[in-house]
A = this chain, B = another copy of it.
Amino acid sequence: MRISQLSAESGVPIPTIKYYLREGLLPQGEQTSATRAEYGPAHLRRLRLIRALLEVGRVPVAAIRTVIEAVEDERTDVHTMLGTAHYALASRPEPLAGDEEWARAREDVDRLIADLGWGVGPLAPGRDELAQTLVTLARLGMPATHADLLVYAQTAMNLARDHEMGKIPFDGPRDAAVETLVICTVMYGKALDVFRRLAQESESARILGA
Protein backbone atom coordinates (compact mmCIF):
# COMPACT_ATOMS: atom_id res chain seq x y z
CA MET A 1 0.00 0.00 0.00
CA ARG A 2 1.06 3.64 -0.44
CA ILE A 3 1.85 5.96 2.47
CA SER A 4 -1.61 7.57 2.23
CA GLN A 5 -3.30 4.20 2.74
CA LEU A 6 -0.87 3.28 5.55
CA SER A 7 -1.95 6.52 7.22
CA ALA A 8 -5.66 5.77 6.71
CA GLU A 9 -5.38 2.19 8.00
CA SER A 10 -3.24 3.07 11.04
CA GLY A 11 -4.87 6.39 11.91
CA VAL A 12 -1.36 7.91 12.08
CA PRO A 13 -1.03 11.19 10.10
CA ILE A 14 1.39 11.16 7.09
CA PRO A 15 3.83 13.75 8.59
CA THR A 16 4.09 11.59 11.74
CA ILE A 17 4.78 8.49 9.61
CA LYS A 18 7.51 10.42 7.76
CA TYR A 19 8.98 11.46 11.12
CA TYR A 20 9.11 7.81 12.27
CA LEU A 21 10.77 6.86 8.95
CA ARG A 22 13.40 9.59 9.37
CA GLU A 23 14.03 8.59 13.00
CA GLY A 24 14.44 4.94 11.98
CA LEU A 25 11.57 3.76 14.20
CA LEU A 26 9.66 2.55 11.13
CA PRO A 27 11.56 0.60 8.41
CA GLN A 28 11.66 2.18 4.95
CA GLY A 29 9.06 0.95 2.44
CA GLU A 30 10.03 -0.83 -0.76
CA GLN A 31 11.00 1.87 -3.26
CA THR A 32 8.96 1.19 -6.45
CA SER A 33 9.90 4.44 -8.21
CA ALA A 34 11.84 7.63 -7.42
CA THR A 35 8.86 9.16 -5.59
CA ARG A 36 6.90 6.12 -4.51
CA ALA A 37 7.35 3.44 -1.85
CA GLU A 38 5.21 0.43 -0.95
CA TYR A 39 4.32 -0.45 2.64
CA GLY A 40 2.95 -3.75 4.00
CA PRO A 41 1.45 -5.40 7.10
CA ALA A 42 4.82 -5.23 8.93
CA HIS A 43 4.64 -1.42 8.74
CA LEU A 44 1.11 -1.43 10.12
CA ARG A 45 2.23 -3.69 12.99
CA ARG A 46 5.19 -1.44 13.74
CA LEU A 47 2.96 1.65 13.83
CA ARG A 48 0.66 -0.15 16.30
CA LEU A 49 3.67 -0.93 18.51
CA ILE A 50 4.94 2.68 18.42
CA ARG A 51 1.46 3.97 19.25
CA ALA A 52 1.12 1.51 22.15
CA LEU A 53 4.50 2.52 23.62
CA LEU A 54 3.85 6.23 23.14
CA GLU A 55 0.17 6.62 24.02
CA VAL A 56 -0.53 3.68 26.32
CA GLY A 57 2.89 3.27 27.96
CA ARG A 58 3.83 6.98 27.81
CA VAL A 59 7.34 5.84 26.91
CA PRO A 60 9.60 8.73 25.71
CA VAL A 61 10.80 8.56 22.07
CA ALA A 62 14.44 7.91 23.08
CA ALA A 63 13.36 4.83 25.05
CA ILE A 64 11.08 3.72 22.19
CA ARG A 65 14.17 3.66 19.97
CA THR A 66 15.86 1.21 22.37
CA VAL A 67 12.78 -1.05 22.35
CA ILE A 68 12.58 -0.97 18.52
CA GLU A 69 16.27 -1.84 18.24
CA ALA A 70 15.67 -4.92 20.41
CA VAL A 71 12.65 -5.85 18.24
CA GLU A 72 14.65 -5.49 14.99
CA ASP A 73 17.80 -7.28 16.13
CA GLU A 74 16.88 -10.96 15.72
CA ARG A 75 19.94 -11.92 17.80
CA THR A 76 18.16 -10.39 20.82
CA ASP A 77 16.23 -13.30 22.36
CA VAL A 78 12.50 -12.81 23.04
CA HIS A 79 12.91 -12.63 26.85
CA THR A 80 15.49 -9.82 26.57
CA MET A 81 13.33 -8.05 23.97
CA LEU A 82 10.29 -8.11 26.28
CA GLY A 83 12.57 -6.97 29.13
CA THR A 84 13.58 -3.81 27.24
CA ALA A 85 9.87 -2.96 26.91
CA HIS A 86 9.28 -3.67 30.62
CA TYR A 87 12.23 -1.53 31.64
CA ALA A 88 11.03 1.30 29.34
CA LEU A 89 7.70 1.31 31.21
CA ALA A 90 9.38 1.94 34.57
CA SER A 91 9.37 5.33 36.24
CA ARG A 92 13.10 5.13 37.13
CA PRO A 93 13.25 7.03 40.42
CA GLU A 94 16.53 8.75 41.27
CA PRO A 95 18.22 6.62 43.93
CA LEU A 96 19.28 8.95 46.75
CA ALA A 97 23.06 8.56 46.74
CA GLY A 98 24.49 7.95 50.18
CA ASP A 99 21.05 7.70 51.75
CA GLU A 100 21.22 4.83 54.23
CA GLU A 101 17.46 4.45 54.53
CA TRP A 102 17.21 4.04 50.78
CA ALA A 103 20.12 1.58 50.60
CA ARG A 104 18.51 -0.53 53.34
CA ALA A 105 15.15 -0.53 51.53
CA ARG A 106 16.88 -1.61 48.32
CA GLU A 107 18.54 -4.50 50.20
CA ASP A 108 15.14 -5.51 51.62
CA VAL A 109 13.70 -5.56 48.09
CA ASP A 110 16.57 -7.67 46.73
CA ARG A 111 16.19 -10.13 49.61
CA LEU A 112 12.40 -10.31 49.12
CA ILE A 113 12.75 -11.06 45.39
CA ALA A 114 15.37 -13.72 46.14
CA ASP A 115 13.17 -15.27 48.85
CA LEU A 116 10.25 -15.38 46.41
CA GLY A 117 12.49 -17.24 43.97
CA TRP A 118 11.58 -14.88 41.14
CA GLY A 119 13.79 -14.74 38.04
CA VAL A 120 14.26 -10.98 37.89
CA GLY A 121 17.39 -9.33 36.41
CA PRO A 122 19.72 -7.44 38.79
CA LEU A 123 19.20 -4.25 36.74
CA ALA A 124 15.38 -4.39 36.70
CA PRO A 125 14.26 -0.82 37.48
CA GLY A 126 11.33 -2.25 39.48
CA ARG A 127 13.83 -2.97 42.28
CA ASP A 128 14.54 0.76 42.70
CA GLU A 129 10.88 1.71 42.23
CA LEU A 130 9.85 -0.70 44.97
CA ALA A 131 12.62 0.53 47.31
CA GLN A 132 11.43 4.09 46.79
CA THR A 133 7.84 3.08 47.57
CA LEU A 134 9.00 1.44 50.84
CA VAL A 135 11.00 4.54 51.85
CA THR A 136 7.99 6.78 51.12
CA LEU A 137 5.66 4.59 53.20
CA ALA A 138 8.11 4.59 56.13
CA ARG A 139 8.61 8.37 55.95
CA LEU A 140 4.83 8.84 56.00
CA GLY A 141 4.72 6.82 59.23
CA MET A 142 3.10 3.74 57.62
CA PRO A 143 5.98 1.28 57.11
CA ALA A 144 5.04 -1.80 55.04
CA THR A 145 5.39 -5.12 56.84
CA HIS A 146 6.96 -8.19 55.26
CA ALA A 147 3.51 -9.86 55.38
CA ASP A 148 1.94 -6.93 53.49
CA LEU A 149 4.57 -7.12 50.76
CA LEU A 150 4.14 -10.88 50.39
CA VAL A 151 0.38 -10.41 49.83
CA TYR A 152 0.92 -7.91 47.02
CA ALA A 153 3.77 -9.95 45.50
CA GLN A 154 1.68 -13.13 45.50
CA THR A 155 -1.35 -11.31 44.07
CA ALA A 156 0.84 -9.92 41.27
CA MET A 157 2.32 -13.34 40.53
CA ASN A 158 -1.12 -14.97 40.33
CA LEU A 159 -2.21 -12.38 37.77
CA ALA A 160 1.03 -12.59 35.75
CA ARG A 161 1.09 -16.40 35.70
CA ASP A 162 -2.59 -17.21 35.26
CA HIS A 163 -3.92 -14.27 33.25
CA GLU A 164 -1.32 -11.97 31.74
CA MET A 165 1.62 -13.80 30.20
CA GLY A 166 -0.78 -16.21 28.46
CA LYS A 167 -2.04 -13.34 26.31
CA ILE A 168 1.41 -12.72 24.74
CA PRO A 169 1.68 -14.24 21.21
CA PHE A 170 5.19 -15.64 21.75
CA ASP A 171 5.27 -17.40 18.37
CA GLY A 172 3.99 -14.46 16.28
CA PRO A 173 5.92 -11.47 14.89
CA ARG A 174 8.30 -9.92 17.45
CA ASP A 175 6.65 -6.49 17.48
CA ALA A 176 3.20 -8.00 18.13
CA ALA A 177 4.53 -9.73 21.29
CA VAL A 178 5.98 -6.47 22.62
CA GLU A 179 2.81 -4.54 21.72
CA THR A 180 0.63 -7.04 23.61
CA LEU A 181 2.91 -6.93 26.66
CA VAL A 182 2.80 -3.13 26.83
CA ILE A 183 -0.98 -2.89 26.37
CA CYS A 184 -1.68 -5.70 28.86
CA THR A 185 0.67 -4.36 31.50
CA VAL A 186 -0.53 -0.77 31.34
CA MET A 187 -4.27 -1.16 30.65
CA TYR A 188 -4.96 -4.02 33.07
CA GLY A 189 -2.84 -2.13 35.61
CA LYS A 190 -5.21 0.79 35.14
CA ALA A 191 -8.27 -1.48 35.43
CA LEU A 192 -6.89 -3.03 38.62
CA ASP A 193 -6.26 0.39 40.12
CA VAL A 194 -9.82 1.52 39.42
CA PHE A 195 -11.31 -1.77 40.69
CA ARG A 196 -9.32 -1.33 43.93
CA ARG A 197 -10.86 2.09 44.56
CA LEU A 198 -14.35 0.81 43.73
CA ALA A 199 -13.88 -2.21 46.01
CA GLN A 200 -12.62 0.05 48.83
CA GLU A 201 -15.71 2.24 48.45
CA SER A 202 -17.94 -0.83 48.58
CA GLU A 203 -16.13 -2.13 51.67
CA SER A 204 -16.35 1.30 53.32
CA ALA A 205 -20.14 1.26 52.73
CA ARG A 206 -20.39 -2.23 54.22
CA ILE A 207 -18.20 -1.54 57.29
CA LEU A 208 -19.84 1.82 58.07
CA GLY A 209 -23.36 0.62 57.25
CA ALA A 210 -23.81 3.45 54.73
Contacts and interface: CB of A to CB of B under 8 A. Distances in A.
B208 A133 contact: no
A85 to B, nearest CB: 10
Contacts of A136: 56, 187
A17 to B, nearest CB: 18
Interface stretch (A18-26, A30-38, A67-75, A141-149): A141-149
A15 interface: no
A133 B142 CA distance: 31
A160 to B, nearest CB: 4
Number of copies: 2
A50 interface: no
Interface in A180-210: 180-181, 183-185, 187-208, 210
Chain A interface size band reads 35 or more
A161 B198 contact: no
A59 interface: no
Interface string A73-116: 00001111011001001100000000000000000000001000
Interface of A: 48, 52, 56, 77-80, 82-83, 86, 89-90, 113, 118-121, 124, 126-127, 129-130, 133, 136-137, 140-142, 144, 148-149, 151-153, 155-165, 167, 170, 180-181, 183-185, 187-208, 210
